[in-house]
Structures are given as C-alpha cells and as structure tokens.
Amino acid sequence: MRSVRLATMLLLSGVLAAGIAATGCSSPKTEAEKPSGGPTGGPSGEPKKSKEVKAVEAKGSGTLKGQVKFSGDAPKPAPLDFKKTDKKTDIAVCEAGSEEERTDPTWRVGPNKGVKNVIVWVEPAVVGQYFVIPDDLKKPAKEKEVVKIDQPHCAFVPHVEVFYPSYFDATAKKQTATGQKLEVANSASIDHNTKTDPGNTLVNKATNDLIPHMTKNPVSLNFKPGDDKKPGDFDVVKLACTIHPWMNAYVLVVDNPYYAITDGDGNFEIKGVPAGTEVKVNYWHESFDKPKSVKITLKDGETADPKIEELKK
C-alpha cells in the first residue's frame, strides 16, 4: 500500500513540475496580452503567435496621428524637495534649474488636458512576425544618430526618450545594428551618477556610472530591445541619480523606427506605418505597470487616430 501511495505522489510531482516548466515565470508584454477569458487574438485571450518568424505582409504605409489626454482634474506638478540630497552644497545648483527641472516630472498635463511624455510605438499584431524596414530607416537620421540625455542642473533632460539600436534582418536572421547611440551627459557644475534599471535583465545589465561635472566625455549606454535572434521585443529602462534621489528618466528600447513621444499638448504622429495589415499600437506612461495597446489596420496613404484611452492618475 505504501509503495502505491509513493508511486502516486511521484507521478503527481512530475506532472506539477512539467506544468511549471511549461508556463515559466514570464508575464505578458502589454496589458492587451493578459489572458481575460475571451478572444483577444488567440484562445483564452492569449495573443496571436506565428509558428515561424516571418515578415508582415504590408500593402503601402500610413500615418498614425492622435492625442493622449488626461481624464478628470489634471494634477499639478509638486515642487521637488532638494533637501533630500546629502550634498547640501548642491542645492543652489538644483534651484537654478527651469520650472520643469524643479517640479515632479511624473504628470505634465497641458491646458487642453493633453499628457506629455507618453511613448507611442508600433509592433506587429502577431508575435514572432517582423516589419520589413525600408532602407532609409535602417539607419537613424543625422540629427538622431545620438540619443542624448543631459543633466544641466538636478534633472534628466529630456525626461523620456526612445532608443532604436537595431532592427530584425531576415537575411541574417537576427537583430542588426542601426548605428544609433545612447549617451548620458552632465553639463552641470556638480557631479551626478547614472544608475540604470532595465526591465528585461536577461538581455540588459544594470549599470551605475559616476559622471563628473561639466564632463566632455558622456557615458555611453548599450541596451537591446530583446533577444538577438527574435523580432518585436522592447524594454523600458529607468535611469536614476542616487546622489540626488528625486532624479529619474526613462528610455524605451525598440527594434523598429515607428514611434513617437507626445508633446506638451499630448499630440503624437508616426509616419510610414505599414498598412494593409493589422498592427498593435503600444502606449506607455511612467505611471503604468506595463504598456497598454490597441490594434488598428491602416489603408495605404491613410492618416488615422488609434484612439488611445484617456489616462488616469
């Protein structure tokens, strides 16, 4: 009898272990990919998945143009407490910054309730597919060869950026470098450090670099959107300064050029988006746990609004 019970327990343990190995510890990339018990692309709410890596069959291109707005009463940015730094001699430099540098950057809402610093970007609607990037977009424009974040006083400027270091090359069957660089500078008269916290630690390592004041040698950061042999991944990397603990910034790392950051009125525009096929429009604000998304199919030459829902605090 004991031998039967032991065999049963071993069998159940094996089934449980197999189930854990199959499901793993990964989480959906966006809110839209969370299983919800209904068809959001695949069975039980799972996203559509391609059996093999293949190109999106686009028919021309279009433009995504819209506005991200805040729902309800807009929050007012609170003044930052510069006394939180241990280096009290730095306070005067911090107070010399612009109004945006002296207030909490989390919510920048304009008079029309447009939300600034929301990142909007596009990816294939089917996991495992990739966009065929036009030759003129495989390299960044001259003015975008370097994505530069500065620290002129006691804030990262700009607060939000996008980094496009690679695209998926079908011939090479891997991510291929675009040549774009990501740098963090320090033009302030005080020292700063830049501590990075990537979301995907399997491919991106956390770093912590001291950046001397008024340095002519900015720190170069190297991050990947995801696995070198897969398309469609992205990562959100947080930057912080531990000398001045209120300082932070965010960088989205992507593998295609179809992205935008909302301006002070919450407006965005993304040109050249593949048309004639369903695409996923992701959007992210630093108040989110993870990006959210909507899906849309553009016609060739069409300009359409993906109708992003209003944000709430």
Residue 207 lies in a domain: yes
Residue 22 lies in a domain: no
| Domain with 93 in it | 53-304
Evaluate the CA torsion angle 240, 255, 38, 62 in order and state its sign.
Answer: positive
Write down the mean pLDDT value for the chain: 88
- Residues 244 and 242: their CA atoms lie apart, in Å, by 5
Residue 131 lies in a domain: yes
Does residue 21 carry a pLDDT above 60? no
Instruction: Give the CB-side neighbour count of residue 211, counting CA atoms within 13 A.
Output: 33
Q: pLDDT category, 52, cuts 50, 70, 90?
A: confident
Number of domains composing the chain: 1
Residue 310 lies in a domain: no
Q: Which residues contact 2 (CB under 8 A, 6 or more apart)?
A: none
Q: pLDDT category, 20, cuts 50, 70, 90?
A: very low
Residue 128 lies in a domain: yes
Q: pLDDT digit string (tens) for 85-130?
A: 999 999 999 999 999 999 999 999 999 999 999 999 999 999 999 9
Q: What is the pTM of this model?
A: 0.85
Q: pLDDT digit string (tens) for 206-240?
A: 999 999 999 999 999 999 999 999 999 999 999 99
Residue 152 lies in a domain: yes
- Residues 144 and 29: their CA atoms lie apart, in Å, by 27
Residue 309 lies in a domain: no
Amino acid at 33: E
Question: So what's the pLDDT on residue 233?
Answer: 96
Q: pLDDT digit string (tens) for 127-173?
A: 999 999 999 999 999 999 999 999 999 999 999 999 999 999 999 99
Query: Residue 26 has which token pair?
Result: 């990964």
Residue 92: give its domain's CATH number.
2.60.40.420
Q: pLDDT category, 180, cuts 50, 70, 90?
A: very high
Question: So what's the pLDDT on residue 51?
Answer: 60
Does residue 37 carry a pLDDT above 60? no
Q: pLDDT category, 45, cuts 50, 70, 90?
A: very low
Residue 29 lies in a domain: no
